[in-house]
Amino acid sequence: MTMTSSSNEIYLAAIEGGGTTFVVSVARVVPLHEAIVTPTAATGNNNNGILQIGPTTLQILHTTTIPSPENATSTSNNSTPDRILDETCAFLRRHLPSDNGKYSAVGIATFGPAGVNPTRTKDYGTILAGSPKREWRGVDLLTPIARACGLGDDGGGGKRVAVVGFDTDVNAPALAEFRHRRYLQEQQQQQQKRRTRQSPSPDNNNDDKPLTSLSYVTIGTGVGVGLVLNSQPIHGLLHPEGGHVAIRPLEGDAFAGYSWGAERSPYGGVGTVEGVTSSVALTERLLQMEEEEDGVGGDYAAITTTTTTDARKREVLATLPDDHPVWNHASNAIANLCVSLLLLTSCQKIVLGGGIMKRGILYDMVRRRAWTLLNGYLDSVEELSSEERLKDVIVEGSWEEVGSGLVGAF
């Protein structure tokens, strides 16, 4: 079914591309004059399909997950790149605006490494050869999606359309989180100035530093890091790949690294953030622990091969209690990454998201471990002067119900 629209309305399409599932959404930009229930500033979204991103209000009209949860757990293979892209494009075509047959813009936020430099037309919009997800290597996401949105007939294969955005699923939400939090900060500062003018007091001051830097970290099947520094997203030789930095494992940790690290992964996937705290790594660690406890031995290599190719195997993590040892390893790896980000970039906010962070206890565990690892080195910085203050630095995402990755695509 196509959408009925007037020529002055703006309809947007957004795709969050994961290695096993895509989330696809269509939204309408709500005009400023239109009366509508807005979400609270704290969450950025509400139950009426209204989403706030800084000063912009969106009305979410249609959303789907591909493959659907029931199909993702079936025995048939519904997660191949061709199947996922075909269903994504079909969904977008089904909800095209009726007046002109195209969206105003489309954004794609995908797992990496991906070709995000539009001047490199050979690989722009594609998954690069270094991806641990072998079946996705070289797959062109941008061209079929742009065409399905009615935005690909530009003579350039749909790859250079100004209203088609393509970035990683961490850089895109990093920029969205930054703009949203910066907007809220500016609003709060304006309100404080008005209160100060009305009731002058020596206790009223507005010394908050302007937000100019933020890091967004997603921990799921893999681990990704997006960076905004000096109010700009970072794109250098490629894009940040902070999930592959080396960490200091917990004492006595004998885990040999996740199976994805065997090919094209820095450090062979041993002792890295992703090699320890991704859902693949945590599941393989759990299997190894169970094998050792049972004294079975078994073919661990064969077990890990099935684990990495079958998302159903990783669902076991959701059944573990909060005091299971795997969460100690996970929080240590994430805390190592946070410390590295603070030391290297001095970013003001580190936003943690992704499927693993749905385990709520991890936030305090990460802050506690990061405070220990910092060892008092940055105590002179007010925001880092105590473990309690880290609650304002290492934070949850603004759009937990929707997901920062999808929001970033808008």
Spatial contact of 170 and 225, defined as CB atoms under 8 Å apart: yes
Mean pLDDT of all residues belonging to the chain? 85
Supply the DSSP string of 40-75, one letter for each residue: PTTTSB-TTSEEEETTEEEEEEEEEEES-HHHHTSS
| 192-231: pLDDT as tens digits | 888 777 665 544 444 568 999 999 999 988 899 999 999 9
Tell me the CA distances in angstroms from 295 to 288, 291, 298, one per residue in order.
10, 6, 9
The pTM is what?
A: 0.84
Least confident of 32-36, 90-94, 343-347, 400-404: 32-36
* pLDDT tens-digit map of 243-287: 999 999 999 998 988 888 777 788 888 999 999 999 999 999 999
Please, are residues 331 and 376 in contact by the beta-carbon 8 Å criterion?
A: no
**Residue 206: what pLDDT?**
42
DSSP string, 99-143: TTSS-SEEEEEE-SSB---TT-TTTTTBB-TT-S-GGGTT-B-HH
Q: By three-state DSSP, how is residue 34 classified? A: coil
Q: What residues contact 406, with CB distance under 8 A and at least 6 apart?
A: 14, 16, 23, 25, 63, 109, 399
The predicted-structure confidence for 283-313, as pLDDT tens digits, reads as follows 999 998 888 776 644 444 444 544 444 555 6
Rounded to whole angstroms, how far apart are CA atoms 292 and 303?
A: 14
pLDDT tens-digit map of 151-202: 975 544 545 556 899 998 889 999 999 999 999 999 998 888 887 776 655 4
Q: Residue 167 in contact with residue 41, Cβ under 8 Å?
A: no
47-51: average pLDDT: 77
End-to-end CA distance of the chain: 22
Task: Name residue, tokens 């079946």.
Answer: 135
In 3-state terms, what secondary structure has residue 225?
strand
- Provide, rounded to the nearest whole percent, the portion of the chain with pLDDT above 70: 82
**Span 354-364, average pLDDT:** 95
Is residue 112's pLDDT more than 50? yes
**In the predicted model, is pLDDT for residue 368 greater than 90?**
yes
Section 52-68 average pLDDT: 92
- Describe the chain by its helix, strand, coil percentages, rounded to 5: 40, 20, 45
* pLDDT tier, 382 (very low <50, low <70, confident <90, very high otherwise): very high
Position 212 scores a pLDDT of: 96
DSSP notation for 8-23: T--EEEEEEE-SS-EE
Residue 376, judged by CB atoms within 10 A of its CB (0-12, 13-18, 19+), counts as exposed
pLDDT at residue 47 is higher than 70: no
351 Rama sector, left if φ>0, alpha if ψ -120 to 50, beta otherwise: beta
Q: Is 248 helix (H, G, I), strand (E, B) or coil?
A: coil
Q: Say what the pLDDT of residue 374 is.
A: 96
- DSSP for 313-364? HHGGGGGS-TT-THHHHHHHHHHHHHHHHHHHH--SEEEEESGGGGSTHHHH
Cis, peptide link before residue 200, omega less than 30° from 0: no
Instruction: Say which residue, 369 or 6, is predicted with more confidence.
Output: 369
Q: Average pLDDT in the 23-46 region?
A: 70
Contacts of 235 (CB under 8 A, 6+ apart): 116, 117, 171
CB 345 within 8 Å of CB 387: no
Please, what's the b/e burial string for 85-102 (b: 16 or more CB within 10 A of its CB; e: otherwise)?
bebbbebbeebbbeeeeb
Greater model confidence, 355 or 394: 394
Give the span between the Cα atoms of 177 and 398, in whole angstroms: 7
pLDDT for position 303: 47
Is 144 in contact with 85 (CB distance < 8 Å)?
A: yes
How much is the pLDDT for 156? 47
pLDDT digits (tens, 9 = 90+) for 312-337: 567 889 999 999 999 999 999 999 99
Q: State the Cα–Cα distance between residues 9 and 28, nearest whole angstrom.
A: 7
pLDDT, residue 268, reads: 87
